[in-house]
């Protein structure tokens, strides 16, 4: 293991090119070390990707909650707007009736 201990994949590859004989014990150690280090790198990358995916999912859930809240606010606003419009229509109707009554009273006098 001394041929691969505390070495990076690049360092092991450089050593393989310069010294190891294919099929030798050292060469097999170096190949195994490269495979192990590559596997570790893949595991680290997958952990990072999983963490990032969880963060994205959490952000999407928060966004969906905010959109639902906003949709509820719009629905309430729409209902309120409808009630205000109805009240204004009634008020306008009453004012028209009062105006007509004034015209009739003025015409009779």
**Tokens found for residue 17:** 């090119």
What confidence score (pLDDT) does residue 94 get? 97
What is the pLDDT tens value at each position of the chain, 109 positions in all? Answer: 566 788 888 887 777 776 667 778 888 888 888 899 999 999 999 999 999 999 999 999 999 999 999 999 999 999 999 999 999 999 999 999 999 999 999 999 8
Beta-strand ranges (E) seen in 37-97 are: none
Contact predicate 26/19, CB 8 Å: yes
């Amino acid at each position: 293991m001394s041929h691969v201990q505390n070495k990076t994949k690049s360092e092991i590859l450089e050593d393989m090119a310069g010294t190891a004989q294919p099929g030798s014990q050292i060469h097999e150690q170096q190949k195994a070390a490269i495979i192990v280090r590559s596997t570790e790198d893949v595991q680290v990358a997958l952990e990072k990707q999983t963490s990032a995916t969880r963060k994205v999912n959490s952000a999407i859930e928060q966004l969906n909650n905010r959109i639902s809240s906003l949709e509820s606010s719009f629905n309430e606003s729409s209902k309120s707007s409808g009630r205000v419009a109805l009240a204004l229509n009634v008020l306008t109707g009453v004012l028209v009736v009062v105006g007509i009554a004034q015209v009739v009273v003025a015409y009779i006098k």
